[in-house]
Structure 1
Amino acid sequence: MRLTVLGACGAWPEAGQACSGYLVEQDGFRLLLDIGYATLPRLLERIGAEQVDAVFVSHGHPDHCADLNPLLRARHLRAEKPTALPVYALPGAVDAVLALDRPGMLDDAYVRHEFNAGDRLRIGPFEAETRLLPHWVPNAGIRLTSGGRVLTYTGDTGPSPDVVELAHDSDLLLAEASHVDEVPADSVHDLTSARQAGTQAAEAGVGMLLLTHFWPGTDRTAAQAAAGETYDGEVGAAEPGLIVELT
């Protein structure tokens, strides 16, 4: 299983960066976990839009799904159109982004697979377990299993025992870490610090922790250090172009 980071900013993309977007590959199948602001150009540096096999959207905030629109345009407006793209999302999560074009324009470009957080899914070669995690809007964390390897992605979430349960014994935990150490009072139930992510990684017994969804201006090195105070495994900071091979 291979993970390629397309973007790791939360809220909006910093200069030269992109928001949440991750390409996960297994046995030739290409799955996008989220596709936020500015992730499509990063993706197109690696593969064609027509080569994406499925998209999973954790929740409906635009820093996680805004570039679904140009991805669908890049597929639909080709001379040779690919098959309709499976899009997995919670009910209503992608309604706004799908409504950006004139009614019906992109209807043939995708097949929507709505699910409820807690459902188990089969996405290509991946067995997927989903879990509702705390955020301002419904957010589905996902645990992907394939080829004897496990990757868990939180989407955006506040600290929760459900993160630990979903991520237990994962080879890689790709975890929300908007802030280094202290989360602002108005966000303590909906976002996680790097230090808290480290604690949850330790409790879950994961093989590697990869921090992501950094608030613009966040010091990635400081975030890694904070997570490392509570988790003694490998801690990485997601950056565009980073590739992690789970072998």
Structure 2
Amino acid sequence: MSDPRLSELALDGLWKNNPALVQVLGLCPLLAISNTTVNALGLAIATLVTLLVSNGVVSLIRDWVRAEVRLPVYVMVIASVVTIIELIMNAHFHELYNTLGIFIPLIVTNCIIIARAEGFASRHGFGVSMFDGLMMGLGFGLVLVVLGGMRELIGFGTLLDGADQLFGPVAIDWGVRILPEQMTFLLALMPPGAFIGLALLVAFKQAVDQRSARRARAAKAARSAEPAAEAAG
């Protein structure tokens, strides 16, 4: 099977086939953890690394895995990667590890990772599979961080509060208060706020795509009208 172009993979992962906005996969951690920017960024990095490594390993072993047992083998690969990430986070980012809780091991069952391992990495070479994992992870992570930033800003009035949990003591003053406490909106931090925030992001993407499609149709119509106008002239 021929490998797709890297530009197509980048566009698919970041926008055209974004896991969160188009495929609508991995919504459990996306909605549960995105109440602050730091929590969202921590889970986004863990998911990206899992996608990157698992795609690469699955691509390397795809010719040695029988079709009958491929899914259990892929899940074992993903579980091994997640276990390593969990141990590293527990050792070096313990406060963030406690905050993310069960959602770190739940990365094993994230539909995005299993779908890319089965649907892409098992059918393509090592380099392009790693790139696909990177782009899909970045696409999911960007949505996660943007949603986390929106909810933290509206719900707490801050951004990057608690950044030292992820970046260490150097980031203890990175958090900034943008809105006064009396202007915050508690709904943004609750489950309905997560769904509303994600819906707004999906609506924004749809609006941009529809506007681009209208412009493309208008440009095509203009190009088609030029020969007719020249012939008539």
Band the TM-score falls in, shorter-chain normalisation: under 0.3
How high is the TM-score relative to the length of structure 2? 0.26
Higher helix share: 2
Give the structure with higher Rg (CA).
Answer: 2
Higher RCO (C-alpha 8 Å, min separation 6):
2
How high is the TM-score relative to the length of structure 1? 0.25
Higher strand share: 1
